[in-house]
Copies of this chain bind each other. A is one copy, B any other.
């Protein structure tokens, strides 16, 4: 019920550290230290605390898919015909590397997936040969992203 704060306090310094690293994960800790005016060792201590608390779930290099020829993002609403075998369908979706997100959702569909593919021909191939062929998938509705205007993490 309550937020998952197990006596976990994030003060202004923690926020500054996190905001900085959320922008650039490879910035030297000592550079952050100079900005927030505490020692590098103290930053390391706080980072260990934040990692242990689970607030930090990792770090990533972000690659630009367009440079690899992936130009098309689409959202696909998927209707499954037997709720009992949903987990199996998800398992199959995981095997399709172009499926970047998959959500069980309320509303019309059973799941909503986000896929990244090279072009419309690739999208059609994925739909016909990878998605529609999965056992349990009865119907799909596709929404192609023409342009992504916002892409960010939550503000802390």
In the complex, the count of this chain's copies comes to 2
> Does A97 belong to the interface (CB within 8 Å)?
yes
Q: Is the CB of B54 within 8 A of A64?
A: yes
Tell which of B68, B75, B108 touches A156, judged by Cβ atoms closer than 8 Å.
B68
Residue interface bits A1-40, CB-to-B below 8 A is 1, else 0: 0011100100000000010011111100000000000000
Which chain B residues border A102 with CB–CB below 8 Å? 148-150
Say yes or no: A22-B63 contact (C-beta < 8 A), given A104-B145, A112-B75, A144-B106.
yes
Counting chain B CB atoms within 10 Å of each CB, the highest count among A57, A61, A93, A150 belongs to: A61
Which chain B residues border A97 with CB–CB below 8 Å? 154-155
> Does A98 belong to the interface (CB within 8 Å)?
yes
Q: Is the CB of B63 within 8 A of A60?
A: no
> Does A41 belong to the interface (CB within 8 Å)?
no
Distance in angstroms between the alpha carbons of A154 and B3 in the assembled complex:
32
Say yes or no: A103-B63 contact (C-beta < 8 A), given A58-B24, A116-B154, A156-B68.
no
Which chain B residues border A66 with CB–CB below 8 Å? 4
A interface with B by C-beta (< 8 Å): 3-5, 8, 18, 21-26, 53-70, 73, 75, 90, 93-94, 97-109, 111-113, 116, 118, 141-156
Q: Can you give 9 A-B contacts (C-beta < 8 A)?
A: A60-B60, A62-B153, A75-B105, A90-B149, A93-B150, A98-B154, A100-B151, A106-B142, A107-B142
